[in-house]
Amino acid sequence: MYDKVLELLESKNFKAIREIFIDMNEVDAAAILQQLYDEGKVGNAQLPLLFRLLNKDAAADVFAYMDTDMQMVLINSFTDRELQEVIDDLYVDDTVDIIEEMPANVVARILKNADAETRRQINTILKYPKDSAGSIMTTEYVYLHKDYTVKEAIDRIRHVGMVKETVNYLYVTESRKLIGVLTLFDVLTADDDDLIGDIMETNVISVDTMEDKELVAKAFRKYDLLSLPVVDNEQRMVGIVTFDDAMDVMAEEATEDFSKMAAVAPSEDSYFKTSVFSHAKNRIAWLLILMLSATLTGAVVNHYQAAFAVVPVLVSFLSMLSGTGGNCGSQTSTMIIRGMSLGEIRMKDFFKVVFKEFRIALLVSVILAVVNAIRIILVYYGDTTVDCYKLAFTVSLAIMVTVVLSKLIAAMLPMGAKKLGLDPAIMAAPLITTIVDTCSTLIFFTIATIVFDI
């Protein structure tokens, strides 16, 4: 479809482009405009022309799905009237998302062209802290009173319910306090004279405005919700979080965990939107810390120079040993960090986890040790410079101790971090590997000096 639009654009057949856009989903239309813009087929001057080809009803939706750069170009080209129309059609939470990315002068212009009620709603959402439920909610929802009849309720829904994604649940309030919930289906299948108070469900799941948005997303998944009311500390309803924002939070949180676990400072922007300089900045801190901590392993090696002066082949096992220890550790820490972030593993499971990892480590380490011993005996059998059995015993014993130790460390550190109020995800592969490196080197040389009697 992109190629077709591009072709029509080159032959300046705008009428045909308009026809295509009419039948197209808003998300897809936004994606095509985005690609045209990103690949330089459409410049800042032409973009507004193309945008005006969109159906009026769809324009605001398409606008909401564009990236910040394109939105800014369009806002700068809009007349006040056009800007007003787009803002009117946008959901308030989408307007807030846009405002948060724009420079001050554009924000001022958006607020100036929003009507008083929208402006009040925007300011309500903006005042909540960045990761709170309040910051991701929308203030557009349908509320009813418990003494409405079903017929009155339907009239009200017709009147205010222009926001289609939010009308699946209807909330019932009394002096602004949330007292019940019902679905559009409940209303549709009730009798005209039934009272809302009689057919509503009174056991409503809600979250506080200051609740962490990650917990909000978890609640959606736990209770299979389509939307979740947000209440202030006096149980007064202030907004709802819709499922699409909850899905985005879920995906963002997973991306954040991936970044942290790879020793990268998480970024809000996508890979390509982040500059080379920002990427480097996000990565350098941990690299420096880990590089300097590795000095400790170097010090251990230096301490044992005498050992590998006598049996130089020992050095060739260091990398395998620390690699295996690191891999064992990162397997464990990843499983546990993910388990904690899904809520499957809780703090009270500490000893259960450690004991389980201990048994897994025993099983795994025996297999690794045996395979390793066989390999060493096969390779070094008949070698006159070193006793192959002593070597196999030394390396295999070191593997066993390293594997058990690294799995225990990797099980305990993430949970310990959480206990201290730190993010468990920082206790992932890179940090564990560095710690295990030092330990495995120390273990190996200690065993070697005893076995080879150095």
How far apart are CB 36 and a second copy at their closest, in Å?
16
How far apart are CB 315 and a second copy at their closest, in Å?
5
How far apart are CB 146 and a second copy at their closest, in Å?
18
Judged by beta carbon, residue 83 or residue 256, the one nearer a second copy is 256
Strands 169-174, 143-144: parallel, antiparallel or unpaired by DSSP?
A: parallel
Kindly tell me which residue out of 88, 165, 174, 383 binds a second copy, with binding defined by CB under 8 A. 165
What's the one-letter identity of residue 79?
A: T
Judged by beta carbon, residue 49 or residue 254, the one nearer a second copy is 254
> How far are the Cα atoms of 174, 276, 334, 422 from residue 262, in angstroms, in the given order?
49, 18, 11, 16
Q: Is 316 in the site for a second copy (CB under 8 A)?
A: yes
How far apart are CB 312 and a second copy at their closest, in Å?
5
Kindly tell me which residue out of 81, 104, 130, 185 binds a second copy, with binding defined by CB under 8 A. 185
Kindly tell me which residue out of 12, 81, 130, 164 binds a second copy, with binding defined by CB under 8 A. 164
> How far are the Cα atoms of 32, 60, 198 from residue 56, in angstroms, in the given order?
18, 8, 41
Judged by beta carbon, residue 106 or residue 388, the one nearer a second copy is 388
Kindly tell me which residue out of 59, 66, 167, 237 binds a second copy, with binding defined by CB under 8 A. 167
Q: Is 384 in the site for a second copy (CB under 8 A)?
A: no
Kindly tell me which residue out of 81, 305, 347, 382 binds a second copy, with binding defined by CB under 8 A. 305
**What residues from 203 to 222 belong to the interface with a second copy (CB under 8 A)?**
203, 205, 220-222
How far apart are CB 79 and a second copy at their closest, in Å?
29
Q: Is 154 in the site for a second copy (CB under 8 A)?
A: yes
Q: Which stretch binds a second copy (CB under 8 A): 46-54, 71-79, 316-324, 446-454?
A: 316-324
**What residues from 233 to 272 belong to the interface with a second copy (CB under 8 A)?**
243-244, 247-248, 250-251, 254-255, 257-259, 261-264, 270-272
How far apart are CB 42 and a second copy at their closest, in Å?
19
Judged by beta carbon, residue 51 or residue 91, the one nearer a second copy is 91
- Give buried/exposed letters for 107-120 (b at 16+ CB in 10 A, else e): bebbeebbeeebbe
Judged by beta carbon, residue 135 or residue 341, the one nearer a second copy is 341
**What residues from 326 to 345 belong to the interface with a second copy (CB under 8 A)?**
326-328, 330-331, 333-339, 342, 344-345
Judged by beta carbon, residue 83 or residue 407, the one nearer a second copy is 407
Judged by beta carbon, residue 65 or residue 78, the one nearer a second copy is 65
**What residues from 342 to 371 belong to the interface with a second copy (CB under 8 A)?**
342, 344-345, 349, 352-353, 356, 359-360, 363-364, 367-368, 371
Binding mask 409-438 for a second copy (x = CB under 8 A): --------------------xx--xx--x-
Q: Report the largest interatomic distance among the alpha carbons of the chain, rounded to a whole angstrom.
A: 99
Q: Is 297 in the site for a second copy (CB under 8 A)?
A: yes
Binding mask 102-141 for a second copy (x = CB under 8 A): ----------------------------------------
**What residues from 14 to 73 belong to the interface with a second copy (CB under 8 A)?**
23-25, 27
Task: Report the 3 state secondary structure along the chain.
Answer: CHHHHHHHHHCCCHHHHHHHHHCCCHHHHHHHHHHHHHCCCCCCCCHHHHHCCCCHHHHHHHHHCCCHHHHHHHHHHCCHHHHHHHHHHCCHHHHHHHHHHCCHHHHHHHHHHCCHHHHHHHHHHHCCCCCEHHHHCECCCCEECCCCEHHHHHHHHHHHCCCHHHCCEEEEEECCEEEEEEEHHHHHHCCCCCEHHHHCECCCCCEECCCEHHHHHHHHHHHCCCEEEEECCCCEEEEEEEHHHHHHHHHHHHHHHHHHHCCCCCCCCCCCCCCHHHHHHHHHHHHHHHHHHHHHHHHHHHHCHHHHHHCHHHHHHHHHHHHHHHHHHHHHHHHHHHHHHCCCCCHHHHHHHHHHHHHHHHHHHHHHHHHHHHHHHHHHCCCCCCCHHHHHHHHHHHHHHHHHHHHHHHHHHHHHHHHCCCCHHHHCHHHHHHHHHHHHHHHHHHHHHHHCCC
Judged by beta carbon, residue 84 or residue 327, the one nearer a second copy is 327
Q: Is 298 in the site for a second copy (CB under 8 A)?
A: yes
CA 12, 16, 22, 28 dihedral sign is negative
Size of the site for a second copy (CB under 8 A): 112
